[in-house]
Amino acid sequence: MSQNNQNDWEIDQGVAVEESKPELKPPPMYKVVLLNDDYTPMDFVVEVIMKYFGKHQEEAAKIMLQVHYDGKGVCGIYRSEIAETKVVQVNEYSKANQHPLMCMMEEA
């Protein structure tokens, strides 16, 4: 080993460098909300909640009543891509069944 290479090796020793890890934030979450209207039957709202949000009958009825009495009801909280998909699915399904039921998302 030459003197030059040995000195380089000695200089590199003794200095510990730890790479910093980037701080990861959890993705923003969004509430998927059903809005009340005066025309959509309550049974249809319960069906939508069960079909698209995986709620059982009793919980779906509770959310439907919240929509009815409070003007809106939260069906679930999801990452943005999932929330957007559920909003589109519910709005398209409602329209296809000739109901004005609207779904939207808002930041949680």
What percentage of the chain exceeds 70 in pLDDT? Answer: 83
Does pLDDT of 18 surpass 80? Answer: no
Does pLDDT of 13 surpass 80? Answer: no
CATH of domain 40-108: 3.30.1390.10
Domain locations in the chain as residue ranges: 40-108
pLDDT value of position 23: 87
Does pLDDT of 2 surpass 80? Answer: no
Tell me the DSSP string of the chain. Answer: --HHHHHHHHHHTT----PPPPPPPPPPEEEEEEE--SSS-HHHHHHHHHHHH---HHHHHHHHHHHHHHSEEEEEEEEHHHHHHHHHHHHHHHHHTT---EEEEEE-
To the nearest whole number, what is the mean pLDDT of the chain? 90
pLDDT value of position 10: 54
Q: What is the pLDDT of residues 26-64, one digit of tens each?
A: 999 999 999 999 999 999 999 999 999 999 999 999 999
Does pLDDT of 6 surpass 70? Answer: no
Does pLDDT of 9 surpass 90? Answer: no
